[in-house]
Chain A
Amino acid sequence: MTVIDNMQPSDESIAAGNGVIGQRMLRKEDPALLTGEAVFTNDMKVPGALHLAVLRSPYAHAQIVSVDVSGALAMDGVLHAYSGADLADQWAAPMPCAWPVTDDMKNPPHYPLAVGKAAYVGDGVACVLATSDAIARDALEAIDVEYEPLPAVIDLESALADEVIVHDELGTNASYTWPLVIEENEGDCQQAMDTSAYVVKERYVQQRLIPMAMEPRAVVAMPQPFGGDITLYTATQIPHVLKVMTALTLGIPEQQLRVVCPAVGGGFGSKLDVYAEELLCVQLARTLGKPVRWNEERGENTQATIHGRAQIQDIELAADENGKITGLRVRLLADMGAYLQLITPGIPLLGAFLYGGVYEIPKAFDFSCTGVFTTMTPTDAYRGAGRPEATYAIEHAMDALAREMGIDPLELRRRNFIPKDAFPYEAYTGLVYDSGDHDKAATVAEDLVDYAGVRARQAEQNTPDATKRLGIGVSTYFEMCGLAPSRVLASLNYAAGGWESATVRVLPTSKIQVVTGTAPHGQGHETAWSMIAADKFGVDPADVDVLHSDTAIAPLGMDTYGSRSLPVGGVAISMACDQVIDKARKIAAHQMEANEDDLEFAGGMFTVKGSPDKEMPLAAVAFEAFTAHDLPDDLEPNLEMQVTYDPPNFSWPFGTHMCVVEIDTETGNTEVLQYVAVDDCGNKVNPLIVDGQVHGGVVQGLAQALYEEAAYDSDGNLQSSSLAEYLVPAASDVPSITLGESITPSPTNPLGVKGVGEAGTIGAAPCVMNAVVDALSGLGIRDIQMPASPVKVWTAIQEARNNTQENQQ
């Protein structure tokens, strides 16, 4: 095993490939998914399983006075029923929060079923085990819970004012305040605010979002017949982290637990967690000695699975008379929800390093985030996890600055871009951006959208009486992904590491196995990882098997989130392949009686320079390694190497998005006429997969801008609790997407790759909202908060028109 960091890139290693990397190879995952053969967790057939159903609080905030499960127990088919109090002694520890962002962070104990108090609508208070899902759910209605309702806490500023305390034992709703002040001299930021030619002061609301993966969560916990082992099948993005956390929370030996992800139907961060139902199923299966399963209905999912975003952002952006940024101050008020789940408190902080965007920012940066508890579903990672929020704030504020200065927003950005030759660039934060070419990405986008042409059309079309107004939006972004080097995570108090593991083995019968610690849920890792190996070995990707998502088969890993799988996991695989080839080379050289240096390896074959009759295929080397009849003295048998790679840096994809919108001023409706995305994620292993990630990411960002909001009423009821009310758009509601090309390899890893899973989402929301405000600013409208629903846009237009009339009177 080797831990490698600080690896320098090798242009040779990319060039020396066998031509597989970069192909738009069709996905290996597809046939099983297309024919219905793929098994998602709730597809599993588990004879004799007990079905778990969870009774959830209908109140956002209430004392639980009593729980009477006798009515449920009396029903046919109901085997067990428990209140939170009944199970209180089952847990060795509260549910984990793996990111104590500050030493004094307040983290109230959170158990799989609430005892004493329910803290959000959806908080589990009791559960039932029955012979079928239908009976279990019927039985919930027979459980009698007496609640004493308390006032809900919905508004973040009221939460911060501690008008009503959510967790009595804390005495406050504030969980933490985390500052990041970067100044040459103390007071620089304030000075910039005081003395700069321009200061824009903006407040933005990142509305609460529901990740809404199409597969609702599901769990099957299966105890093994002897020995106390238990297998947890679950729709998760984090089998390895979940294994450790489950063992700790239940107080069971980690080695007795195996976590397996069947096919997982999307995650976007919502399956990056340790959930009550997973813990309940495992613990009940262990104690009862029977399989226990649970599946989530969508109406449950919208309440019982984590939400995203939910911040109030106050940003002050100072600039000199030319529009060069002189200072930046950000205050965040972040909604934790009722409890801290796995990385809830850290999400807003992941964006802290990105408020400077793609611009040259001096050390006059003052950031602080306060996390507060409310009586709503807990928040946690959702596609982009803190970085879309940060990008929104800077990109939307830049447009505000451009309008104040009376210059074109693209021009303002160009004045501030970090120039290409400045990379690797040490930013104001001390982080080093690996590579970037913002002007190129912007130019490609500009040409594709015909920026000048749209501006000309806009000038003609947007007369004061125009029914339909045209707007063009720009966003230029950096994304910080791959999560991080483990040492950086340590400095942030993040409780896990940032490495990834790969084992590559060539079987005696010549097929190649890649064992990865990544946990795909739609990203095509089986395809992409087999391409990496096939490219190294010169074999057909069909001859490479990728094993993943089972902690018995792939015991080492840090799972999939944060756009980390390729820049960390894929790189680990390429390194393991290199090590296997090195060993194979030694064996081949020994057996062909040649010098290692004279060996060439291509197309799966070792040849000897100058001896055209000597060759040894990889398959033969593998078999020789297996029989071990004639190996060099210091070499062990078998052809298998394991690498754990800890990245030396984040990876920094970047890009420019532009879009054209048309707003019907009579209805407030926004139509996106055109969307262009230029996303530079370095080298692309499979451009087909990359394109798909960008498309999907863009639509989620666009949906935040125009459609989605997890709306709560003042009593803390989620009003948009179904897909009928929570507006995930369909194909009919979104545009096609034009992709532009920009490839700037990363110098920090030998594949030259960066992540891309979240980039589309990061660029999209500010792009669309910049277009919306661009269309409307001519009417005197300063800003619109997301989502730019028709009623909101129309109302803003009315107010602006009334103001104009008043001003004219």
Chain B
Amino acid sequence: MIPAAFDYVRAESAEEAISLIGQHGDESKFLAGGHSLVPLMKLRLAQPTVLIDIGRLTDLSYIREDGDMIAIGAMTRHMDVENSDVLKQHVPLLAHAASHVGDPQVRHRGTIGGSICHSDSASDLPATTLALGATYVAQGPNGTREIAAGDFYQGFLTTVLAPDELLTEIRVPKMNGAGWSFQKFNRRAQDWAIVGVAAWRRNGDSGVGLVNMGSVPILASGVSSALASGASIEDASAQAAEGCDPTSDLNASIEYREHLARVLTRRALEEASAS
């Protein structure tokens, strides 16, 4: 319940945050909303020696239109993503997915950037932004770079971000009226998905992201290709589990997860196609 001891510093700007993490080295971590990191620290599964609190970087909390994209500051809280009129209009799949993260108390504090950097394949937003073809903007001591979501997630709780890089923005293409659906299957409403599917579709184009079907969020590109070449939803969904590497745990066997991926993908595509 009580984390191991650590030192705490507060950053007043993104530049300062980057500089601080460079100074304090490998055992230091950024603290955003804290709702992925602090739980791990309380169980002593994570024991950073220094926490760099970026919670006051309010200028990284925004949601704005930027041409064909919507730019979301990494420090934007889930509740603000959920309630954003801009997102409801232009990227409703993301606004809706955010409403499923944890519970209201978690959504008041947790941030989209924190969730994406934490890179838990069982979280809702990594798979959703992946399905939407997002790019993530990272700032480091040597400048900024844009990373496609598909290139971002490396492994279990691991991303391509360098230790001294700060995620500053998530850029998501406008959906332009595409149909969409978010299917989250769990035992209790507050739980992580046993399997989840975030999907959008407009005619031949689609994006299907899978939650908790491997050590990273998965883009079911096989499903999208099949749809694009005219397969039925049923046939396309049958491939949903291809290339996945789900685990078994208290709630599911591997076989069951693979089955759920197919069923939920089919249901998601049906719903996405109906609107």
Binding site for B on A (CB under 8 A): 133-134, 137-138, 297-299, 666-669, 707, 709, 711, 719-720, 724-725, 727, 729-730, 732-733, 789-791, 794-795
Contact = CB atoms under 8 A, between A and B. Distances in A.
Contacts of B253: 791, 795
B252 A732 contact: no
Contacts of B189: 730, 732-733
The 10 closest A-B pairs by CB, nearest first: A732-B189, A297-B1, A791-B256, A733-B188, A666-B263, A134-B2, A791-B252, A727-B187, A711-B250, A729-B188
B190 interface: yes
Contact of A667 (B5, B190, B191, B263): B263
Interface in B181-195: 185, 187-191, 194
Contacts of B251: 789-791
Residue of A297, A299, A667, A725 with highest tally of chain B CB at under 10 A: A667
Nearest to B3: A134
Interface string B246-260: 000011110010011
B185 A667 contact: yes
Given A133-B2, A137-B2, A297-B1, A789 B187 contact: yes
Given A137-B2, A711-B250, A791-B251, A732 B188 contact: yes
20 contacts: A138-B2, A298-B1, A667-B185, A707-B187, A711-B250, A719-B250, A724-B191, A725-B250, A727-B187, A727-B191, A730-B188, A730-B189, A732-B188, A789-B251, A790-B194, A790-B251, A794-B256, A794-B259, A795-B253, A795-B256
A707 B2 contact: no
A727 B188 contact: yes
Contacts of B252: 791
Contacts of A297: 1
Nearest to A795: B256
A218 to B, nearest CB: 13
Contacts of B4: 138
A727 B4 CA distance: 27
A790 B188 contact: no
Contacts of A789: 187, 251
B212 to A, nearest CB: 14
A632 to B, nearest CB: 63
A154 to B, nearest CB: 15
A189 B251 CA distance: 41
A355 B256 CA distance: 36
Contacts of B263: 666-667
Question: Which residue among B1, B185, B194 has the maximum number of chain A CB atoms within 10 Å of its CB?
Answer: B1
Nearest to A707: B187
A133 B1 CA distance: 11
Contacts of B5: 138
Nearest to B263: A666
A340 B250 CA distance: 28
Q: Which of B185, B187, B252, B263 has the most CB of A within 10 A?
A: B187
| Majority secondary structure of chain B interface residues (helix, strand, loop or mixed) | loop
Interface string B113-152: 0000000000000000000000000000000000000000
Interface of B: 1-2, 4-5, 43, 185, 187-191, 194, 250-253, 256, 259-260, 263
Contacts of B190: 730, 732
A724 B45 CA distance: 15
Nearest to B183: A667
Contacts of B43: 299
Contacts of B191: 724, 727
A583 B191 CA distance: 61
Nearest to A296: B1
A298 B259 CA distance: 34
Contacts of A134: 2
Nearest to A300: B1
A4 to B, nearest CB: 48
Nearest to B267: A666
Contacts of B259: 794
B262 to A, nearest CB: 9
A709 to B, nearest CB: 8
A473 B190 CA distance: 27
A506 to B, nearest CB: 48
Nearest to A298: B1
Given A666-B263, A732-B190, A791-B251, 15 more contacts: A134-B2, A138-B2, A297-B1, A298-B1, A299-B1, A711-B250, A720-B250, A725-B250, A727-B188, A730-B188, A732-B189, A790-B256, A791-B253, A794-B259, A795-B256
Given A732-B189, A733-B188, A667 B250 contact: no
A707 B191 CA distance: 12
A553 B246 CA distance: 60
Contacts of A711: 250
Nearest to B195: A667
B1 A790 contact: no
Contact of A707 (B185, B188, B260): B188
A195 B88 CA distance: 70
A795 B191 CA distance: 22
Which of B188, B194, B251 has the most CB atoms of chain A within a 10 A radius of its CB? B188
Contacts of A137: 1-2
A725 B22 CA distance: 37
Nearest to B1: A297
A799 to B, nearest CB: 12
A725 B5 CA distance: 26
A785 to B, nearest CB: 15
A201 B205 CA distance: 56
Contacts of A666: 263
Most chain A CB within a 10 A radius of its CB, from B43, B190, B194, B250:
B250
A134 B5 CA distance: 10
A638 to B, nearest CB: 51
Nearest to B103: A730
Given A133-B2, A711-B250, A720-B250, A667 B188 contact: no
B196 to A, nearest CB: 12
B3 to A, nearest CB: 10
Contacts of A709: 250
A6 B263 CA distance: 64
A712 to B, nearest CB: 11
B185 A669 contact: yes
Given A667-B263, A719-B250, A790 B2 contact: no
Nearest to B248: A791
Nearest to B262: A666
Given A134-B2, A666-B263, A795-B256, A790 B250 contact: no
B250 to A, nearest CB: 6
Contacts of B260: 667
B260 to A, nearest CB: 6
A794 B194 CA distance: 14
Contacts of A727: 187-188, 191
A699 to B, nearest CB: 13
B94 to A, nearest CB: 22
Contacts of A794: 256, 259
A138 B2 CA distance: 9
A666 B188 CA distance: 18
A151 B11 CA distance: 51
A107 B194 CA distance: 42
B81 to A, nearest CB: 21
Nearest to A728: B188
A302 to B, nearest CB: 13
Contacts of B185: 667, 669, 790
A285 B260 CA distance: 56
Contacts of A729: 188
B103 to A, nearest CB: 8
B183 to A, nearest CB: 10
A795 B260 CA distance: 12
A42 to B, nearest CB: 12
A53 to B, nearest CB: 11
A719 B190 CA distance: 19
A192 B43 CA distance: 57
A790 B189 CA distance: 14
A299 B44 CA distance: 12
